[in-house]
Structure 1
Amino acid sequence: MDEKTAKYYENHAQDLLKRYNSAESPLASLVPVLFEKGQRVLDVGCGSGRDVSLLLEMGYDAYGIEPSDSLRELSVKSNPKLDGHIFKGSLPYLHDELTGEYDHIILSAVLMHIPDNSLFESAYSLRSMLKKG
Structure 2
Amino acid sequence: MNNYYYKNSQTFIDNTLEIDMESLYGPFLGCVKLGGTILDIGCGPGRDLKYFTEHGYKAQAVEPSHKLAQFAREHSGCVVHEGLLQDVEFEGEKFDGIWACASLLHVPTNELSSVFKKIATIMHDGAVFYCSFKHGEFEGERGGRFFNDQTLDSIKEFLPSNFTISKDWVTEDKRPDRDERWLNLLLTKN
Written as runs of structure 1 = structure 2, the 5 A alignment for 1:31-110 is 31-77=28-74, 79=75, 81-82=77-78, 85-91=79-85, 93-97=86-90, 99-110=92-103
1: CA distance, partners of 2:42 / 2:12: 13
Question: TM-score when scaled to structure 2?
Answer: 0.60
Among 20, 27, 33, the alignment partner of 1:24 is: 20
2: CA distance, partners of 1:126 / 1:28: 19
Deviates more, 1:31-40 or 1:106-115: 31-40
Equivalent position of 1:112 in the other structure:
105
1: CA distance, partners of 2:21 / 2:71: 19
2: CA distance, partners of 1:87 / 1:23: 23
The structure, 1 or 2, with the larger RCO (C-alpha pairs under 8 Å, 6+ apart) is 1
**Structure with a larger share of its residues in strand:** 2
Give 1:80 deviation, angstroms. Answer: 5.8
2: CA distance, partners of 1:29 / 1:124: 25
Contact 1:55 1:61 in 2 (8 A): yes
Q: Mark the structure with the bigger radius of gyration.
A: 2
2: CA distance, partners of 1:96 / 1:111: 18
| RMSD between aligned residues | 1.8
Give 1:132 deviation, angstroms. Answer: 2.3
2: CA distance, partners of 1:98 / 1:10: 29
2: CA distance, partners of 1:13 / 1:119: 25
Equivalent position of 2:5 in the other structure:
9
Written as runs of structure 1 = structure 2, the 5 A alignment for 1:121-132 is 121-132=114-125
Segments of structure 2 that go 5 or more residues without pairing to the other structure are: 127-190
Give the 4+ runs in structure 1 shifted more than 3 A.
26-32
2: CA distance, partners of 1:28 / 1:127: 21
Question: TM-score when scaled to structure 1?
Answer: 0.83
Instruction: Report the 3-state secondary structure (helix = DSSP H, G, I; strand = E; otherwise coil) of the residue aligned with 2:17.
Output: helix
Contact 2:43 2:63 in 1 (8 A): yes
**Residue identity in the other structure for 1:24:** D
Contact 2:18 2:47 in 1 (8 A): no
Segments of structure 1 that go 5 or more residues without pairing to the other structure are: none
**Structure with a larger share of its residues in helix:** 1
